[in-house]
Structure 1
Amino acid sequence: MTASLEHLVATGGLLVVFLTMILESCGIPISAEIVAPLAGALAAQGRLSLAGVIVAATLGNVVGSLLAYWLAFRFGRPIILGPGRRVGLDERHLRLAERFFARFAGWAVFVGRFLPVVRTYISFPAGLARMHLAWFTSLTTIGCVIWLGALSYAGYRLGEHWQDVEHALGPLTLPFGILVLAVIVGAYIWGRRWMDRRPADEPL
């Protein structure tokens, strides 16, 4: 699997990065921990642009997530558990994502981007729950930029040792996601309090 992806990304460039990330976020078993660091390593060799890698990976993941959201929103569980099985969707993994979403609600879409398996399936329970589309898209995009940017940059820095990224980052993914979420929520709360304290006639 890794060798095939390596060949595809090396020959197809940013288009393959974009397409594989669409598939990953639709429940197809393709790992971002392979594609993004590999593309980052190719950027270090001058064969791709690091910024291009991050943009292509993020756009692909967001597009795939929106597609998964829409399928779940429009057709419900039958489309996921019926035709989905034929392309590699796993019902056990879907249940895991549903439990995660039930526990953390909308924020699961953001934090789930940092977790293996969950990030691949989290868009389905969001669609089933009819989560507000703008909120879903915003959290998905922010999570993708941070996570895929980190993976791509790590691959860029490690170069030919890009395969070490998955092993190095694996135990840190959940704490990292929670930390980023805490920073964002903290900044939001601070901003709201600052606006509330500001005199009404004070210019922005």
Structure 2
Amino acid sequence: METSETLGGIAQWAVDLMDALGAPGAAIAIAAENLFPPLPSEIILPLAGFAASRGSLGLVEVIIWTTIGSIVGALALYGLGRWLGAERLKRIADRMPLVQVSDVDRAEAWFAKHGGKAVFFGRMIPIFRSLISIPAGLERMPVWRFLLLSAAGSAIWNTVFVVAGFQLGEHWHIVEDYAGVFQKIVIAVVVIAVAVWIALRVRRIRRERRDTAPTGR
């Protein structure tokens, strides 16, 4: 597959895989992206769509194979979460500063109620696309349900980006630019949320220590 510009890094690696293996190469790249979130699907998927627009790969073939790759990667992280288990996570949380076992209990209760929606929509949000598989495994969501929700969410995400790359052709990188903005917004929201949570938790701990401290006469 040739492009009008010189590719480098991740993009060139993905192109080399697709040149060597065809659509299954795109599946391998996407499976790796699920396991290593810094590998951006926002580059790999439009590139695969561009390859389809040049006739190197079939459009439907690319969508199917990339979705298979997404499922394989998600299943690996689901297995990691299932191996870790909620009880082991609680023991880890008990040793961590600021984190309490009750936090894990609340997260479990939330996931028990909203886990299906979290997995489905999480597959369409940068960063969370990969990580959402771990709590699903931790909470032992039935494998068939996890696979169904992951496949549905991944198919939507993959189709949007592959078709965008197909339609834009040599200008596929425009997709990456817009997706990059979305990803930065998500990262900013996460950083702010974590910072607020830490500030509130530190404030609460200090208040509890002050309230329980012995008072001098």
TM over 0.5: yes
- Give percent identity, aligned residues only: 36
Partner of 1:50: 59
- State the 1:137 CA deviation: 1.2
Counterpart in the other structure of 2:14: 5
Amino acid at match of 1:127: G
The TM-score normalised by the length of structure 1 is 0.66
What number of residue pairs does the alignment pair up?
155
Structure 1: how far apart are the matches of 2:168 and 2:38?
25
Looking at structure 1, the residues matched to 181 and 40 of structure 2 have their Cα atoms a distance apart, in angstroms, of: 16
RMSD: 2.9
In the alignment, the residues of structure 2 paired with residue 104 and residue 34 of structure 1 have an alpha-carbon distance, to the nearest angstrom, of 30
Matches within 5 A, 1:86-105: 102=111, 104-105=114-115
TM-score by length of 2: 0.63
Does the alignment pair 1:162 with 2:162?
Answer: no
| Amino acid across the alignment from 1:72 | G
Matched, 1:138 2:148: yes
Question: Which of 35, 39, 43 pairs up with 2:48?
Answer: 39
Per-residue CA deviation, residues 1-23 of structure 1 (Å, 9 max, x unaligned), is 33333333334321221111212
Shift of 1:165: 0.8
5+ residue gaps in structure 2? 1-9, 90-106, 184-217
Write the distance in 2 (CA, Å) between the matches of 1:166 and 1:36. Answer: 10
Q: How does 1:110-129 map to 2 (within 5 A)?
A: 110-129=120-139
For 2:28, the equivalent position in structure 1 comes to 19
**How far has the Cα of 1:170 moved from its partner?**
5.3
Shift of 1:167: 2.3
Secondary structure of the residue aligned to 1:131 is coil
1:28, CA displacement in angstroms? 4.8
Give how far 1:39 is off: 0.6
Q: Which whole-Å CA distance do the structure 1 matches of 2:161 and 2:46 have between them?
A: 5
Letter in 2 for 1:16: G
